Chain A
Amino acid sequence: MQVEVRGITKCFGAVRANDNISFTVPSSSIEGILGENGAGKSTLMKILSGFYSSDSGDIILDGEKVTIDDPADAIRQGIGMLHQDPLDFPPFKVIDDFILGKKGGLIPNRRAAIREFNELATRFDFSIDPESYVDTLTVGERQQLEILRLLWLGSRVLILDEPTTGISLPQKEKLFATLKKLASEGMTVLFVSHKLEDVEALCNRATVLRQGRLVGTVEPPFDTKVLVEMMFGKEIPQEPKTQLRMGTTVLHAKHVELEGIRIQIKNIDLRVRAGEVIGVAGMEGSGQILFLSACAGLAQPVKGSICLDEDEKDMTGKTYHEFRKKGVVYLPAARLEQALIPGLSLTEHFILSEGMKGLFIDRKKSEELAKSRISLFNIKGRPDSPVESLSGGNQQRALLALMRDPLKLILIEHPTRGLDVESTIYIWGKLKERCARGTAIVFISSDLHEILKYSDRVLVFFAGRVTPPLRASTLTVERLGRLIGGKDWDSIETEVSHA
């Protein structure tokens, strides 16, 4: 289906989120919609999928002007949207999630629905058990479920909002293959992303937005430099990686064995030294978070021990509170849910984390503290801004600003997930500053480039197994990708035994 938008404008208060945007996407093609955070991509896609109505402008499908009342109406007209965080029902069975929203009789024919689900899944080579529960699926599988559901409902336009965030490399490859197949069958795909490499690898064309305006449309072959300039107005230089020398032991995980809901991991041995950065790679849900939690006392190993410091004090079975006293912090990926307190301002966060003495709050002093941290960490926000009003990048900056100093060990999930290039570089700059002062970092990421770029050593998790720490300098994206997908593991074992 051909999708055309003509003169779309949408304002939120004084902010022009979309300013007179027009473009046409022919059917059977994959269009990349590029732009940094806040460029207006999401707003435009929400207008197309019926979440918002535009202040002015038209949507034209196959040459016919349409009005879209709500998301369900968008699906009726053939526009399906895959949200960044799949809008599904985690505690439900896959098949129930699949059926919900499909019109029909009082009692749904589950057997027929399961058959149709399996047929669709086979067509795209997805393997999802319709009787399993949605919350046992990985983000990638939940996306697959949503795609199948939207196809089942008859979508002819598929909008994907940052779909490669939070999924593993093999899942990404599968997603791309699926989208290409769909496009070849006549589907129009709008692929929203701020990741250049994804757009370059997948799209037939790229449309770039900046500050609510359409900057231009680019045809392949794509020139990264041109795209970056269109997105940011200027190219951001990337700092070269500096080699750090190793210090004393900060953390020692000895023969650790862990058990999660659906996972068991044996024999993790890792010694982290001051100033070192350890990258933890693997398909989402392979136990990386469990391991990181165990290193902070948030999960309990069933065997083995977790020791801290040069004198290897055994901390197994101790609470996070006691780990914190030893200079360990844990930064979860769910910034707003687990790390910050929505409703409290930046100042109030600083008051809480600094543990100021006395019964009454020293307003003036705390506001000054907040102001100095805000400028030090380059946060776009005021002392009295509630944290939920900040963008993802600024929330992450705030989290870094909240961390005490000095620290021995920072454990961090997806430090730059969902952030634009500028914030990513900034966040890592700040983390590296800490490393230079002797803090060790262990981080989880599904971005292989990030793992290779910033880690000294890398752990790869796969199906209950963990590699010994591998030198990042000996790895490439391809090799890491293969390890995450469960390939080449034998060679590692021989490599290590010979070392």
Chain B
Amino acid sequence: MNSSALVTSIAGVLAAAAPVLFAVIGETISERAGVLNLSMNGMILLSAMGSFAVALATNSVVLGFLAGAAIGALVSLVVTFASLTLLQSQVAVGFVLAQLCRDLSYFLGNPIMGKVGPRISQVPIPGLERIPVLGTILFRQDVMTYLSFILIVAAWFFIFRTRPGLTLRGVGERPAAAYIRGANVNRLRYLYAAIGGAIAGLAGPIYSLSIKAGWKGTISGLDGIGWIVLSITIFGGWKPFRAAFGAYLFAFLQWLGLVLQPSLPSVPSQVLQVAPFPLMILTLLFVNIGNAEWVDRSLARLPENVRRDIVRVLRAMNATPPAALGVPFEKE
């Protein structure tokens, strides 16, 4: 592969990671508030189909994207309502919704199958696009990919640098302590679940109005991404920059599968297609290996300086979830 093809491929990986990034950051915000939205897989499919349908009917990609966000927020609010108001299990409701939304998208999407509709295109940024290498990688993308870059920084800034972001973390960590500090725990959980759902919902139209434009039902190739999104949220330790790294890693692994296929004809193509999934699991295991008791046990006998360094690395990699994730809050 020559160098210009490589640069184009890197640009392609960044664009392919954009929907995953939106979904992961959305889920991160929701989970930071304590709401576990497991419906992600079906929700992405439904918002992909729904936003394409809206864009097709109105011939407006903007309305398509808004529809995607609205579907995301709505599905997320169903989980939140079932959990916070009806006190049902977030896990159970999330799973059911994941299946329901997926089948609903296939069923309702039948009339628009295979139709050609509007889509967004690349908007090179004048001037910046001419920077060698970086220009192609960063500045010849579509609007949503640019927004995905901004989203990482904005989400990080909001969560870790602002007062509402601090309260958001508090609500997911220890709602009782946030409550005595004046936070309306359930209202905030509804709010951030809706915001997180809306952001994640944009993943759908990024596929159906850009990367994989159109709606192709069961062969859309979107089924399964939502589950990866949930695991990247964990891998990302509920931190936007780490989550972004996970999203890019996943997109990179998928791209690698495509590239390697011609040079490895003996390997069935299905193997390379699914390879990113077990690889993500392995990465997850590796990142959180410091939690395991046997690691502690085997490390204890290593020489002190070696152990110190290993322990430091393991601890830095390790991520603890918001303590109240999935737990409804009730005042006494």
Contacts and interface: CB of A to CB of B under 8 A. Distances in A.
Are A and B co-members of a single complex? yes
Interface of A: 46, 51-52, 70-72, 75, 81, 87-92, 96, 99-101, 103-108, 300-302, 317
Interface stretch (B92-100, B169-177, B202-210): B169-177
B284 to A, nearest CB: 20
Interface in B167-192: 167, 169-170, 173-174, 176-183
Q: 4 closest Cβ contacts across the A-B interface?
A: A101-B181, A72-B182, A300-B300, A71-B180
B177 A107 contact: no
B114 interface: no
A110 to B, nearest CB: 9
B58 interface: no
Interface in B128-185: 161-164, 166-167, 169-170, 173-174, 176-183
Interface in B285-301: 296-297, 300-301
A91 B163 contact: no
A302 B300 contact: yes
B162 A106 contact: yes
Interface in B187-245: none
Contacts of B301: 300, 302, 317
A31 to B, nearest CB: 22
B180 A87 contact: yes
A52 to B, nearest CB: 7
Contacts of A106: 162-164
A317 B293 CA distance: 12
Contacts of A89: 169-170, 173-174, 177
B170 A100 contact: yes
B214 to A, nearest CB: 41
B167 A100 contact: yes
Q: Indicate the member of A51, A89, A91, A104 with the most B CB atoms within 10 Å.
A: A89
A242 B138 CA distance: 80
6 contacts: A96-B169, A101-B167, A105-B163, A107-B162, A108-B166, A317-B301
B332 interface: yes
Nearest to B167: A100
Contacts of A91: 173, 320, 323
A317 B296 CA distance: 11
B297 A71 contact: no
Say what secondary structure dominates the interface of chain A.
Answer: loop
Contacts of A302: 300-301, 304, 307
A111 to B, nearest CB: 13
Interface string B80-104: 0000000000000000000000000
Contacts of B164: 106
B300 A101 contact: no
A71 B180 CA distance: 5
A104 B176 contact: no
A100 B181 contact: yes
Contacts of B174: 87-90
Residue from B166, B180, B332 with most neighbouring chain A CB atoms (10 Å)? B180
Contacts of B167: 100-101
B331 A92 contact: no
B317 to A, nearest CB: 16
Contacts of B169: 89, 92, 96
B300 A301 contact: yes
A137 to B, nearest CB: 15
Given A87-B174, A300-B301, A72 B181 contact: yes
B180 A100 contact: no
Nearest to A71: B180
Most buried by B among A91, A96, A99, A100: A100
B186 to A, nearest CB: 13
A107 B161 contact: yes
Nearest to B173: A89
Contact of A88 (B177, B182, B304, B332): B177
B262 to A, nearest CB: 47
B163 A108 contact: yes
B64 to A, nearest CB: 31
A104 B173 contact: no
A157 B135 CA distance: 62
Contacts of B173: 89-92
Contacts of A51: 331-332
B304 A100 contact: no
A81 B176 CA distance: 13
A47 to B, nearest CB: 11
Given A91-B320, A107-B161, A100 B300 contact: no
B163 A99 contact: yes
B332 A100 contact: no
Contacts of A88: 174, 177
Given A105-B163, A107-B163, A108-B166, A87 B182 contact: no
B182 A101 contact: yes
Nearest to A297: B297
Contacts of B181: 72, 100-101
User: Which one of B179, B296, B300 has the greatest number of beta carbons of chain A within 10 Å?
Assistant: B300
Contacts of B304: 302
